[in-house]
Amino acid sequence: MRPLGVFSQKLQKKGVMQPHSVLRTSFHFGAVALLFVSVSAAAQAPLPRIPEFHISSPSGSYLAARIARAERDVSAASNFYRSVLRTDPKNPDLLEITFLVTLQSGAAEEAFPLAERLIVIDKSHRIARLALGVKALKTNQFQQARTHLAIAGQGPIADLTATLLTGWTWYGQNNAKNAVAQIDKLSGPDWYSLYKELHASLILDLSNQRTDALKRIERVRSVDPNSLRNVDAYARMLARAGREQEAEKLYSDFSRALSRHPLIDAAIDELKRNGKLAPLVANAAGGASEALYGLGAALSQEPGGEDLGMLYLQLAIYLNPEHPLAMVALGSLLEATKKYETAIETYDRVPDSSPLKRKAQIQRALNLDVLEKKDEAREALKALAEEKPDEIEGLFAYANVLRAGKRYSEATEVYTKILGVLGEPKREHWSIYYYRGMSFERAKQWPLAEKDFQQALKLFPDQPQVLNYLGYSWVDQGVNLDQALDMIRKAVALRPKDGYIIDSLGWAYYRLGRYDEAAAELEKAIALSPSDPTINDHLGDAYWKTDRKLEAKYQWSRALENKPEPEDLPKIQKKLKDGLDETVPPRAEEQKDPNKG
């Protein structure tokens, strides 16, 4: 064990810092070990929030850095760790973690000097070598880049990354032969081939070896025909080879089979306007950026891969500051880690000229809504919807924000516009009917809501959310109880871990007067969704009916604590004061079915 710095020893004695052997980061790039600096929720107790005041002591900065890192606020963590590092500059652990979070925050220029210091201590530090290789590549110091990248390998992800970037360094020196040979000689898992063939084809295309480039990209297409990036690369190569009609057909087929995408629409427009298309990447830095983006976006989707994915995406953006897909992928990752303000800043960086700018603006507005800036979010989405009234994504986001803001009548109008744009109903349109039905129901227009739910089930008969919502609504109204019970049971079978759907089943039993069964199901629901006020309220009712009155009052108290809907609040308060009204509602068989006149 290497000795700790003086400051680290003081912190450890105070119980602030973990022992060196625990803090030390061993960075393996294997697919089973992608997470590098995250704090394990299972291993670390919840930490207090960063206090809103200036932290002057090193120990305070270190504690604040740990809190920021635990909350995935990498920018704040970087600032605090750098502050601590100035007081203990020879601490290798502190240097490593400061480098990692600084690079992860996107402050690449501040991270590179830390990487230089780190490789003096640990010559084989893979991420430091990768970062320095990327820096050298961007400044066209290709031999220096290869030196760093040769050490950045060793491990499935690391080997592939280093190989692809090394290939691009050879292209940067106008040596496509060496570039492709470097990529081809890498052996590894089957999934390597998608990345190897794609980047070999991009290099060959830029080198005007279009026949070979097309052969390579066609192999990728045969394995992964539905990838947006593969389709775009292939179509651009076809157009550059003088096969413009084939390129346009490829784009059109992709849009019809899957969905329209702004990048595809922009490419088709460019092809029709100019009769040609630019290559997917323009130079070595662009190619390396594309490699890091592709790997980073994939890693971001894997459990435990978020931190490494963020680092790769930041390096991709460093190499190509106008890479819109990398920015959107980074924004999405920040949303997934609940860093909504940083996500907004990332979406703002998407260039105005990019076809993805509109998508970025939509996502920006949705993040504002999450941050309770609802008026600002609503106005932004309204402007986007009015700007392009036939564009579904903007309309759908606007309608959902209206619904979430309880502006149900306005939401139904926007959902109706969407259905008008879509035309003939298809299976994939079930959600529009479902959300419009929810809005009608909340606006107290039940006949219209019921019609929409039934249409959604006609399009998608086994959709558990719709089965649950319609079944629950019937149960709550005391109508169609047998059919409702069957629907909810089917929804539970499809979603056995969904507390809200199990609540519906429990409530159906309650309305049927089967109180013991109701309590049993509602206990399952509360275990899955303990903070839901409605489930707590329902369980209180079931307990009261099974003569468990003390437990009933406890559940009603929990319902109040969890902020029920305004219309439910006085009812729960009355039950807490006076108990449940013992006037028993009519049994199911005595209810009038409105559908039978």
Q: Which of 556, 560, 559 is nearest to 544 (CA)?
A: 556
Over residues 205-244, the pLDDT tens digits come to 999 999 999 999 999 988 888 899 999 999 999 999 999 9
Where does the pLDDT of residue 63 fall: very low under 50, low under 70, confident under 90, or very high at 90 and above?
A: confident
Residue 29 clears pLDDT 60, i.e. is over it = no
Residue-wise pLDDT tens digits, 369-391: 999 999 999 999 999 999 999 99
pLDDT digits (tens, 9 = 90+) for 95-136: 999 999 999 999 999 999 999 999 999 999 999 999 999 999
- Residues 17 and 11: beta-carbon distance below 8 Å: yes
**C-alpha separations of 11 from 57, 93, 97, 448 in Å:** 11, 13, 16, 65
Encoded tokens for 516: 């013991």
pLDDT tens-place string over residues 323-377: 999 999 999 999 999 999 999 999 999 999 999 999 999 999 999 999 999 999 9
**What is the model's pLDDT at position 209?**
96
Q: Which CATH class is domain 1-122?
A: mainly alpha
Q: Is 215 exposed, middle or buried (0-12, 13-18, 19+ CB in 10 A)?
A: middle
Read off the pLDDT of residues 568-580 as tens digits, 9 standing for 90 and up.
999 999 999 999 9
Give the three-state DSSP class for 338: coil
Other C-beta atoms lying within 10 Å of the C-beta of residue 454: 13
Residue 28 has pLDDT above 50, yes or no: no
Q: Which pLDDT does position 51 carry in this prediction?
A: 39
Per-residue pLDDT, averaged over 180-206, amounts to: 95
Taking residues 49-54, report their average pLDDT.
38
pLDDT tops 80 at residue 525: yes
CA proximity to 467, closest of 486, 451, 481, 480: 486
